[in-house]
Amino acid sequence: MKFGIYPGCSLTGSARDYNESVFALAEAFELEFTQIPDWNCCGATAAHNLNKELSLALPARILALAEKNGLDEIIVPCAACYSRLVVTQHELKKDPELKNRISEVIEMDYKGTSRILNVIEWIDKYIIPQLDAKIVNQFRYKVACYYGCLLVRPNKVLNYDRAEDPQTMDIVMTKLGATPIDYPYKTECCGAGFSISRTDIVSKLSGKIIEDAEHRGADAIIVACPMCHSNLDMRRPDINKYWKTEYNIPVIFVTQAIGQ
């Protein structure tokens, strides 16, 4: 089975661990990846606030490249990238005229035929069926599954899981042997939008997410988004400083949890 993978900026930078664990998993389960050649920025940060066509053209180019290379399924581990790609596919499907315009902008044919998978969908579809045969250590921990915002929203576009109290990651984690806790902060805001500009807000919001997980006795917080990870993990010293706490609950990528 040949998949395309779109890493995006985070996976080559701050979330190298995520990248490595995805590839490690793929190797372990004999799944072959082709990185989309000549990929570009997905436009997640600001493009969609400034220029709609640009915000669609960037992901459209990525998708067109995937089509051109015959990649029917693309894995997009980063939730922000995933959201941009799916939104673009949705918008262009809705409006054939816009599709033609964007095609002209990117100077490439765009059909919108590639299927975009987030990491959980991918795991569920390709890893879980082989899991029993390959599993070495069950992941027997109490986990708090944190979905963040972009993995399940906007629900009508992504058409993935339910926006309130999503379940897919919990189900995957259960299959790995973990015990997901009842966790009301699953989709609460981590402050990602202020990740750089107002770290105090990040500390405040992410702090609550961590607090509740600690309070409920979770052994780890599981994430599937590099942004969530960096806010909950990399910003931990700031969080502890802000809330005057000493939280040390680990935040790990869902792919790392399987690999363990």
Give the binding site for another protein (CB under 8 A). 162, 164-165, 182, 184, 212, 215-216
Looking at the Cβ atoms of 51 and 113, the one nearer to another protein is 113
The one-character DSSP state at 123 is: I
In the complex with another protein, which residue's Cβ is closer, 92 or 252? Answer: 92
* Residue number with CB closer to another protein (14 or 167): 167
**Exposure string over 195-204, b if 16+ CB within 10 A, otherwise e:** beeebebbbb
3-state secondary structure of 187: coil
Q: How far is the CB of 30 from another protein (least distance, A)?
A: 31
List 145's β-bridge partners, or say none. 222
Q: CA-to-CA distance for 164 and 14, rounded, in angstroms?
A: 28
CB of 143 to another protein, least distance (A): 17
Picking from 155, 143, 127, the residue whose alpha carbon sits closest to that of residue 258 is 127
Q: How far is the CB of 113 from another protein (least distance, A)?
A: 11
Q: Which residue's entry shows tokens 């405040």?
A: 204
Nearer to another protein, 94 or 198 (CB): 94
Contact 18, 255 (CB under 8 A): yes
